[in-house]
Amino acid sequence: MNDINGTTNMKFDSVRAGAVGGGLTRTLSFVALVCGTAIIIFPLLWMVLVSLQTPDRAQAATVSGDLTKLFPSDPQWNNFPDALTQMGSVRWKGFFDALANSIVVTTLVVAGTVLSSSLVGFALARIRFRGNNALFLLMLATMMLPGQV
């Protein structure tokens, strides 16, 4: 392939020539990604569709596993405000209490994490002591594992 200056770019020609057998791998990768996406999206779709049902119909669709009962004939859009008002004794009070609690906890956790991480990071970068590398590797290992483990 010639570029503007008339020289041949051998790197791209060799990549294109070697890409003949990559069609099957690409197709299988695409199929695997589509299947994984469907597996992840299906529970979310199920949750939204069941939330639009009446309580009796939602239970029938969930217990029987019949997908035809899953799609609501007349969606119950008032289920969402009803769920929010039933959280507390006063209209919307329970929701705002939970929201305020979440904001306070999130703010304190983020501030504590930023403060402690910056102090520990500075100490590990500047201060040399015995076991410095072992402590650094231990911290890296704990960061690589999810919190549930």
Cβ-contact 49, 62 below 8 angstroms: no
| Pick from 83, 60, 80: nearest CA to 71 | 60
Q: Which structure tokens are listed for 62?
A: 């969930």
108-137 per-position pLDDT tens digit: 999 999 999 899 889 888 999 898 899 889
Q: What is the pTM of this model?
A: 0.49
How far apart are alpha carbons 52 and 66 in whole angstroms?
16
Name the residue ranges covered by the structural domains of the chain: 1-77, 89-149
Cβ-contact 87, 98 below 8 angstroms: yes
3-state secondary structure of 85: helix
| Pick from 69, 78, 63, 70: nearest CA to 42 | 70
The count of residues in the chain is 149
3-state secondary structure of 58: helix
pLDDT of residue 33: 97
38-65 per-position pLDDT tens digit: 999 999 998 998 889 888 888 887 777 6
Mean pLDDT of 11-31: 71
